[in-house]
Amino acid sequence: MAQFAKGVLGGIAGTAVMSALMLMKSAMGLMPQLDVIQMLSSMMSISPGMAWVVHFGIGAMWGLLFALAYHVIPGGSALTKGMLFGTVAWLLMMVMVMPMAGAGFFGMQMGLMAPIMTLVLHLIFGAVLGLVHGNRVNEANRDV
């Protein structure tokens, strides 16, 4: 049970880092059309504040899924597993969420930078998720 909570914690941590980078991207004026919170808000007809809650809820859900699948994800380290998992999450976003948001497959209606930027963000999300979860798993194993 503790590993699932640790997965959720890793997902929230990864989402927090990804969100900080998204906010920095927006503050610099990079790809203003790539605004995940605005996309969620529009798609779900909810306020931006609720879209942030949903965004972190999705991150927590991905963290739980990561914890459930941790031992079957290929890779020798938690970092590698997390980055691979982040890549899968990115791929699902590109073929499911982006088309639903009206951005086309891989967000190509926003240009080539959309899939590249979102891939980088998801790799960072996965790295943080893997490191936080992997560190927590290692701590739990030492306590046993």
Distance between CA 12 and CA 30 in Å, rounded? Answer: 24
Q: How far apart are CA 37 and CA 114, in angstroms?
A: 15
For the stretch 56-97, pLDDT in tens is: 999 999 999 999 999 999 988 999 999 999 999 999 999 998
Do the Cβ atoms of 110 and 99 come closer than 8 Å?
no
Give the pLDDT band of residue 134 (cuts 50, 70, 90).
confident
Which domain covers residue 48, as residue numbers?
Answer: 2-143
Kindly compute the dihedral angle of the four CA atoms of residues 18, 126, 62, 29, in this order, to the nearest 10 degrees: 20
Number of structural domains (the chain) is: 1
DSSP 97: I
pTM of the model: 0.88
pLDDT score for 1: 64
DSSP structural state of residue 65? H
